[in-house]
Structure formats: C-alpha cells, structure tokens
Amino acid sequence: MLKLLFHTQVSLGLAQAAVVALVTIIVAQLAARRGALIGREVPFALLRGLLQILAVGALLALLMRGPWWTSIPMLAAMILAAGTIIRQRVPELPGAYSISLLCMCAGAGGVIAFMAILGIVEPRVTMLIPVGSMVIANNMNIQALFLNRFLGEVRAHRGEIESALALGAKPGSAVAPYLRASFDASLIPAANNVRSLGIVWIPGIMAGMVLSGSSPVYAALYQFVVLGMIFTAGGVSCMVATHLVPRRIFTPHQQLRALTP
Amino acid sequence: MPQPPAVLEAIALSRTVENVREGPKSLLRNIDLRLEQGQVLAVIGPSGAGKSTLLRLLNRLDEPTSGQLLLQGKDFRELEPAQLRRRIGMVMQRAYLFPGTVGSNIAYGPAQHGVSLDHDQVEALLEHVGMSGYAERDAATLSGGEAQRISIARALANHPEVLLLDEPTSALDDTSKAGVERLLATIVRERETTCVWVTHDLGQTRRVADLVLSMRDGQTVAIGPPAQVLDA
C-alpha cells in the first residue's frame, strides 16, 4: 500500500520506518501503562537509533563512491567506539580501554584483514563495512562478556587466588582457572549462534542477501562465513586478553589489586 | 654471648592506604619484630588491630609503605615474590582449597616451580596432618576441620622456613579446633619452623607461643614472652 503513495526508495524507507516506529511506540506506551519502565525509553531510543542508522547510511552512500581503503578509518573508528563501550562495562579494570583496543585489533581487525586478503570478504566498501561492523560489534560483546565475567570471578575467588600466590604461584597461574571459565562463558553466545544456524534463526545478513536477489544457497554459505569470522575473532581477542589482563590486576610485586566495581 | 641469627625481621614496618573518601588511612605503624629459628610469635589484639595486615605484609601479599622486611638477613625487595612466598608458607583463616582432589591440592605449591610430588610424598604429608588415604578424595567434600588440615599440608609441601598462620582455628568447631592446634604445635616443634600465629584465643597463645606481640590500632602495645605480655 505504501508503494502506491511513495515512489522513491528513500521516501518509501522513511514511510516504512515511521509506521514501524509508530507501532513500537504504541506497544511501549501500553507497556508503560502496565508499569514497565522501558516504555519511557523507547521513543528516544527509536529516534536515536533512526538518526544513527541514517547517518551511517548517508556515510556509506558517500564512501561507496570512494576506493576500498576508505573503509579502514571507518572500521578503526568502530573499534575505538567499541573500546569505549567495553571500558564503561568494566570501569574497575586498569587499562580497560587499551586492553580492549588491542584485543579487538588482533581479533576483529586481524580476522577482517585476513579474510579480505584471501578474498573471502571482497575488498570493497560495500562489503568491508557491513561485514566488518558485524564482526566488530560481536567482538565487542564477546570481549565485554569476557572481561566482566573474569573480574566477577576474581572478586568471588580472591581467597583462592591469594592462597595460590601464597603457595608460590605466579599471577598467571593463580588466575588461570578463572581465565578459562571466562573464555568459555564469553564464547557461548557465538558458539550457540553457529550451532543453531538455520534451525533456530535465519540471521540478518542472509535475509538481506536473499532480499537483494542473491541465491539463497550462496547467502546461507556466506552467513556461515560471517558467523565463523565472528567466532574466530572472538576467540583470538579472548586469547590476547588472557595474556594482557592478569598484568593489569596484579601489581609489579605480584599482589592482587583491589577491584571495586 | 652473640645473638643467634634472625630468620625473619621487621624494622619500622608501616602500611598506609589511600581511601578516596576518607583520605590516607594508617593500617600499621612502626612494627618491629625479630624471630629466630623455631620461635613461635603469637600476634594478639582486637579486630582491626592490624594483625592480618601484618601477616599479609610478611607474605608480601601487600606492600609496606615504609620500613624493611628481612628473610635470613636478605631484604624482601631483593627476592622474587613467588620465590619468597614459597619460603614463607601461609595458612589462612579459611582453607580455600582448589577444585580437584586433595592430592592435587597438596602438590600445587611444588608444581609451581616445576617439582612434581609422587604418591608416596603426598601420602607422607597427609599422614603428617592425620589425613592418610585422602589423596583421591574430592576437596569439595571435606569438612571445615579436614579442609584446614589439608591447607596446612599444602603449605608444608613447599618446606617453608617460616609459617604464617592467620587464625587457622577460628572458623572451626571446638573439636576440630583442638585437633588442628595440636597438629600445628607439633609440626612447628618437630620441624623447628619459625612461626607467626595470629590468634584471638589467649589460652591458645599461652599454649603455643614463645613470644607475644600485642597490637592495637596498627601499633605495638607490647612484645615479649607470654608471661610478660599477658600478665602485665
């Protein structure tokens, strides 16, 4: 019906977004009347989300005309922003920002670069930015989960860690069980996504490719590639974190710092 | 007559921590102590007196703000922390056993510097603390008293020159308490291990101590033989 009223893609998209926003706000207001606090946030979140995604769309439209390397500063900016978000999740960790950046550069950055060099991700702006952003966003979540869980484990097992130190263990050894537990826990969502692929959910990138006319089989295979990249990037970033984090929670004299949230 | 060499020595030991809201807070001020081979020092005082802070400094789990600590005449700062901690064993108020078997807990300390204990060595340590045959038991299934005995054996596995005991019997029931105290007293006497024993129990202090350090508000109130400090 909207197609009869709106004849350009942009005007049609705006109309579709307005209808969806309206329906969401109605549902949120109904929820607010029943006492749900989230109802008050929804209109602002929708507006903010719309403006952000419009800005990205406009930027992409601009970048698409440029050479492939223009996606590098864009992806770097995403990693910097993701680092800030992770730092806010673990403010008690000294050097959380630099750790997050290093881990994501090694994880997301390394995997995106590797896949681009192999030609699995075509080195053009329209591929690098959407696929790269998915890998970075998921890497951010994995990294935040890892650090959050690890600090929780350290706080909960301070006695065991100091007992291990008192027995002559090095800091890395003393926290090794908690690094392992955090590593496993942070990768559970990514592992579940790979396991449930096609059975429980059909992810966005596949839906998008099918909508834009790609073969569903190729779209499915490409979705698998992206999820594989997310899992690999998460694994690499957590491995790097397991080396970097113990240095930050111990003093140079191998004493466990106070970690108050 | 020349004085025997000190095994453990603290000179004007102090620790102050920075508190964001309240400013600097002094936890320990100018503590001096000198312990010879096989001497047992009981550290007594009310809660918050600085007893556990002192023990943590002696194991270098925390850093002194000023003062000096010497092990066999050598400054703590010249020793690698993990190596120092192997030489100064510590038994905490709670056992904090690691997940796994009792045997793996006993072997933990030596394994940290590449020494693996065989079954007989583990069994000998268990026998020493009255827990023969427990090597394959899951550490999580032990009672409080049993767990504390294992944590003592775990500390002894490193053959420490000094043993720090942070109220090792305070979390135990009366029966376990008496057993663990007897065990520790026997071990310390048999091995001639120099020992710093934090306790609230004055009876225990009289039974085990050669010297008593009485503390309040992070400072020394008195230090000397039990009769001199406790009956003053």
Token couple for A73:
């500063």
Give a three-class secondary structure readout of A9-50. HHHHHHHHHHHHHHHHHHHHHHHHHCCCCHHHHHHHHHHHHH
How does the average pLDDT of chain B come out, rounded?
A: 92
Mutate to test the interface with A, among B79, B97, B98 (most CBs of A within 10 A): B98
Do residues B41 and B31 make contact, with C-beta atoms less than 8 angstroms apart? no
Q: Rounded distance, CA B219 to CA B223, Å?
A: 11
Token couple for B1:
């007559």
Nearest-by-CA chain B residue for A172? B112
Mean pLDDT of B24-52: 94
CB atoms within 10 A of CB A226: 21
Question: What integer pLDDT is reported at residue B101 of this predicted model?
Answer: 96
**pTM metric for this prediction:** 0.83
Question: What integer pLDDT is reported at residue A38 of this predicted model?
Answer: 67
Nearest-by-CA chain B residue for A170? B82
Q: Rounded distance, CA B185 to CA B140, Å?
A: 26
Element of type H or E holding A217: helix A216-249
Element of type H or E holding B78: none
Chain B closest-CA separation from residue A95 CA (Å): 19
ipTM summary value: 0.92
- Contact between chains at A159 and B151 (C-beta distance less than 8 A): no
From first to last of its 261 residues, chain A has per-residue pLDDT tens of 777 888 787 788 888 888 888 888 888 788 777 776 666 677 788 888 888 888 878 877 887 778 888 889 989 999 999 999 999 989 999 999 999 999 999 999 999 999 999 988 888 888 888 889 999 999 999 999 999 999 999 999 999 999 999 999 999 999 999 999 999 999 998 888 888 877 766 677 777 777 777 788 888 888 888 888 999 999 999 999 999 999 999 999 999 998 876
Question: What integer pLDDT is reported at residue A37 of this predicted model?
Answer: 66
Residue type, A49: G
Do residues A17 and A51 make contact, with C-beta atoms less than 8 angstroms apart? no
Q: Rounded distance, CA A240 to CA B123, Å?
A: 40
- Contact between chains at A253 and B109 (C-beta distance less than 8 A): no
Question: What integer pLDDT is reported at residue B1 of this predicted model?
Answer: 65
Asked if B154 is an interface residue toward chain A (Cβ–Cβ < 8 A), one would say yes
CB atoms within 10 A of CB B20: 6
Asked if A257 is an interface residue toward chain B (Cβ–Cβ < 8 A), one would say no
Asked if B96 is an interface residue toward chain A (Cβ–Cβ < 8 A), one would say yes
- Contact between chains at B112 and A253 (C-beta distance less than 8 A): no
Mutate to test the interface with A, among B21, B69, B91, B108 (most CBs of A within 10 A): B108
Nearest-by-CA chain A residue for B82? A168
Q: Which residues of A touch B100 (CB under 8 A)?
A: none
Contacts of A188 (CB under 8 A, 6+ apart): none
Angle at A25 between CA A20 and CA A26, to 5 degrees: 100
